[in-house]
């Protein structure tokens, strides 16, 4: 029994190591191959880097699918077709943001300030138009510049995705929602698309190194509702955040009552 378990864990470890090697180095390879063609087509640096991030992580999830034959990815077409949208998601795993980048050629998100200090990586984040978090000042001069950048991103057909919990949830429980994204949506006069993510924490567990490559379950993303610009104008920011969180909680309870999303 012990040797079998050891070999299974060893296989998971080796496959995961290969995935993270690609994750770390693959973008640099794609930079050399696709940078000039993308720039000639898209003309702007932000669009080029966002497209390269998208291609890189789309390949990454194709590799995850290859090494995890029992795991199915189910993303509805209404989510794949979202454009010029602000997307609000629950947060289960480090895989959540990179999964969203893999879905949309033009995308941005709000990233913790500390990541912008990381050599090379922080430079790419800035050049790609990603937004540093600003918990202290929502409408300060720097944040206003970022908000105007978000408006341009949305007007160009790109998406902004945000995890209002700010950190990964535990045991399917939602953390309190940060209200920043609701202020952003009101500033941009844009509605919110609410997307429920399931089972990314089963594929890549918080605190673990290895992917669950031998698991049999479905990782899913479902569009569970929306808040229109009028909804946001007619309610306070706090009320809008509570309304969105209540909808997520109801859908999570329904999923628990009906059992996990599995094959």
pLDDT band at 137 (very low <50, low <70, confident <90, very high): very low
132 versus 240: the higher-pLDDT residue is 240
Which residue reads 């160009």 in tokens? 156
Rg over alpha carbons for the chain, rounded to the nearest Å, is 19
Residue of 94, 100, 102 lying closest to 16 (CA atoms): 94
Q: Which two tokens stand for residue 23?
A: 């994750």
Average pLDDT of span 46-62: 92
**pLDDT grade, residue 57 (50/70/90)?**
very high
Tokens matching residue 251: 């859908």
What are residue 194's DSSP bridge partners? 88, 225
CA nearest to 179, candidates 124, 215, 221, 139: 139
Contact 190, 86 (CB under 8 A): yes
Place of tokens 């999570």: 252
- Average per-residue pLDDT in the chain? 87
d(CA 116, CA 131): 9
Residue 256 clears pLDDT 90, i.e. is over it: no
Contact in structure between 93 and 208 (CB atoms under 8 Å)? no
Question: How far apart, in whole angstroms, are the C-alpha atoms of residue 75 and residue 261?
Answer: 13
Residue 40: pLDDT over 90: no
168 pLDDT higher than 80: no
The reported pLDDT for the residue numbered 140 is 52
3-state secondary structure the chain: CHHHHHHHHHHHHHHHHHHHHHHHHHHHHHHHHHHHHHHHHHCCHHHHHHHHHHHHHHHHHHHHHHHCCCEEEEECHHHHCCCCCEEEECCCCCHHHHHHHHHCCCEEEEECHHHHHCCCHHHHHHHCCCEECCCCCCCCHHHHHHHHHHHHHHHCCCEEEECCCCCCCECCECCCCCCHHHHHHHHHCCCEEEEEEECHHHHCCCCCCCCCCCCCEEEEEEEEEEECHHHHHCCCHHHHHHHHHHHHHHHHHHHHHHCCCCC
With a pLDDT cut of 70, the percent of the chain lying above it is: 90
């Amino acid at each position: 029994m012990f040797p079998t378990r050891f070999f299974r864990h060893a296989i998971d470890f080796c496959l995961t190591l290969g995935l993270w090697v690609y994750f770390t180095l693959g973008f640099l390879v794609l930079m050399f191959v696709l940078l000039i063609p993308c720039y000639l087509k898209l003309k702007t640096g932000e669009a080029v880097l966002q497209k390269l991030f998208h291609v890189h992580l789309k390949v990454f999830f194709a590799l995850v699918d290859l090494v995890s034959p029992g795991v199915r990815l189910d993303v509805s077409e209404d989510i794949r077709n979202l454009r010029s949208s602000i997307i609000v998601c629950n947060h289960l795993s480090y895989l959540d943001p990179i999964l969203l980048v893999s879905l949309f050629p033009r995308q941005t998100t709000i990233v913790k300030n500390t990541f912008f200090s990381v050599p090379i990586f922080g430079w790419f984040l800035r050049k790609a138009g990603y937004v540093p978090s600003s918990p202290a000042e929502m409408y300060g001069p720097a944040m206003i510049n970022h908000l105007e950048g978000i408006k341009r991103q949305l007007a160009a057909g790109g998406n902004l995705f945000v995890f209002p919990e700010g950190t990964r949830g535990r045991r399917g429980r939602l953390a309190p929602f940060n209200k920043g994204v609701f202020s952003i949506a009101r500033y941009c006069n844009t509605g919110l698309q609410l997307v429920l993510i399931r089972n990314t924490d089963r594929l890549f567990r918080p605190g673990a190194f290895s992917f669950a490559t031998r698991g049999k379950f479905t990782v899913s993303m479902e569009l569970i509702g929306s808040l229109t610009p009028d909804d946001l104008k007619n309610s306070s920011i706090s009320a809008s955040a509570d309304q969105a969180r209540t909808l997520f909680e109801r859908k999570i309870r329904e999923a628990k009552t009906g059992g996990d999303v599995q094959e």
